Amino acid sequence: MKMARIEKRFVNRPQHAERIISRAEKLLHFADIREGQRFLEVGCGNGAVSRYVAKKYPLDVTGVDVDPDQIRLAQASLDDDDNVGTHFLTVDATRLPFRDRDFNIVLSFGVMHHIANWLDAFEEIRRVLKHGGYFIYYDLIFTGLAAKFGRSFRHSYGITTMQDLNSFVKENNLVTLFTSIKKSPLWYDYEAVYQSR
How far from each other are the two terminal CA atoms of the chain, in whole angstroms? 30
pLDDT number for residue 89: 96
**31 alpha carbon, distance to own chain's centre:** 15
Q: Give tens-digit pLDDT for 15-50.
A: 778 999 999 999 999 999 999 999 999 999 999 999
| pTM exceeds cut of 0.85 | yes
- Residues whose CB falls within 8 Å of the CB of residue 22, separated by 6 or more in sequence, listed in order: none
Domain 34-196 has CATH 3.40.50.150: yes
Q: Give tens-digit pLDDT for 52-106.
A: 999 999 999 999 999 999 999 899 888 766 555 689 999 999 999 999 999 999 9
Smallest CA-to-CA distance from 26 within 49, 45, 55, 42 is with: 49
Q: Per residue, what are the HEC states of 76-111?
A: HHCCCCCCCCEEEEECCCCCCCCCCCCEEEEEEECC
Average pLDDT across the chain, whole number: 88
Q: Where are the domains of the chain?
A: 34-196
Alpha-carbon torsion (91, 102, 38, 107), positive or negative? positive
Write the burial class of residue 96 (CB in 10 Å: 0-12 exposed, 13-18 middle, 19+ buried). Answer: buried
**What's the full length of the chain, in residues?**
197
According to DSSP, the residues that pair with 195 across neighbouring strands are 134, 175
Q: What are phi and psi of 185, to 5 degrees?
A: -60, -35
